[in-house]
Amino acid sequence: MLVLPDELTHATAPACCRMLAQALRSDPSAQAVADASALRVFDSSALAVLLECRREALALGKSFAVANLQPRLRALATLYGVGELLPSAT
């Protein structure tokens, strides 16, 4: 499970992206799940990080889903037209 931090903004996105990409590469499982339950402070950069995680996971042959996506971030993803790229984990 990829755990998002409590704050994910433009200032923290590059470091978070590197950390999550490293975790993806070292995890042998076939499914990548990003857990957004801790996420409290975010901007649109959080979407960019999740989309980059998705891209990296797919490049590694893994499926990708997001668990516990905050309703405001889900609404933002829908507004930007990328909601379907961030499926909910079951």
Q: Residue 66: which CATH number? A: 3.30.750.24
Q: Decide: helix, strand or coil at residue 38.
A: coil
Task: Classify residue 90: in a domain, yes or no.
Answer: no
Q: How many domains does the chain have?
A: 1
Phi-psi region of 58 (alpha: psi -120 to 50; beta: other; left: phi over 0): alpha
How would you list the strands of the sheet with 63-67, edge to edge? 2-3, 31-35, 63-67
pLDDT > 90 in the chain, percent: 98
3-state secondary structure of 31: strand
Q: Is there a domain that residue 34 lies in?
A: yes
pTM over 0.85: yes
Over the stretch 59-89, which tens digit does the pLDDT of each residue have? 999 999 999 999 999 999 999 999 999 999 9
| Beta pairing class for 31-35 and 2-3 | parallel
SS3 state of residue 47: helix
Which pLDDT value is given to residue 4?
Answer: 96
Domain annotation covers residue 58: yes
